[in-house]
Structure 1
Amino acid sequence: MSSFFRTISAFTSRCSSSSPFTKQLYGQTFGIIQPTLARGFKVRTSVKKLCNDCYVVRRKGKVYVYCKTNKKHKQRQG
């Protein structure tokens, strides 16, 4: 069991090296992956304007609602 902790401590000491290449390598391999934030559409059966800046667009047989001020208002009928 103590050999396991020695291996872990040796590994973590190598990860905390001051080399930028090492930090980049270990950061990509073992780091937490950050999701890219993108606001999608709310899919609803009936769409409606939620504020004065919302506007309705028809494309490819679907109705979309876009908003200039609040991106959370984006909707797609479907």
Structure 2
Amino acid sequence: MSLVSRVCTRFIQGSLRAITFSNTNQSNRNFHMMVKPMPVTCLPKFSFTPDAVSLTSGIQRLLAPVSAALTHVAGFKVKGRLKRRCKDCYFVIREQRHYVICPTHRRHKQMSMKKRDYKSWILTHATQSKVRPY
């Protein structure tokens, strides 16, 4: 950092302190900022005192949602027993599950529970008898 830049930054910091202490009022002193204050070298040269309007517009910009293009889609309701809720609902079987799909009312979508593996075992003749041969 050169001598000229050091002198200029100290001069700007001193003038900034003088301006801010002379122009502050109670509303600016109690204003809470959600972002870190900018260093003196990054402040604009035309105005050293940030007014409340520019600070609130900056915070509103920070609080705005990043992407407004997201749409929420209702998923399937997982049920043990499916039923048609209107005349347009129809049943579909895919990958060992039954589904109810409704093109008119999207909230009617249902999906059956999948059977657990141990409940769908096929028992052999050796395990079916009550009396064991051994």
TM-score (norm 2): 0.40
**Where does structure 2 lack aligned partners over 5 or more consecutive residues?**
1-25, 34-49, 114-134
Q: Could you tell me which residue of structure 2 aligns to residue 19 of structure 1?
A: none
TM-score (norm 1): 0.63
Higher Cα Rg: structure 1 or 2?
A: 2
1:24-65 deviation per Cα after TM superposition (whole angstroms, max 9, x unaligned): x92xx3125766321211111111111111110111111110
Equivalent residue for 1:13, pick from 45, 53, 74: 53
Equivalent residue for 1:31, pick from 64, 68, 71: 64
Equivalent residue for 1:67, pick from 102, 124, 129: 102
- Is the alpha carbon distance of 1:70 and 1:13 closer, same or farther for their aligned partners in structure 2, counting shifts above 3 Å? same
Percent identity for Structure 1 against Structure 2: 32
Which structure carries more strand by proportion? 1
Q: Could you tell me which residue of structure 2 aligns to residue 76 of structure 1?
A: 111
List, as ranges, runs of 4+ consecutive aligned residues in structure 1 with deviation greater than 4 Å. Answer: 32-35
- Is the alpha carbon distance of 1:11 and 1:54 closer, same or farther for their aligned partners in structure 2, counting shifts above 3 Å? farther
Provide the aligned C-alpha RMSD in A.
3.1
**Where does structure 1 lack aligned partners over 5 or more consecutive residues?**
17-21
* Distance in structure 2 (CA, Å) of the matches to 1:45 and 1:11: 61
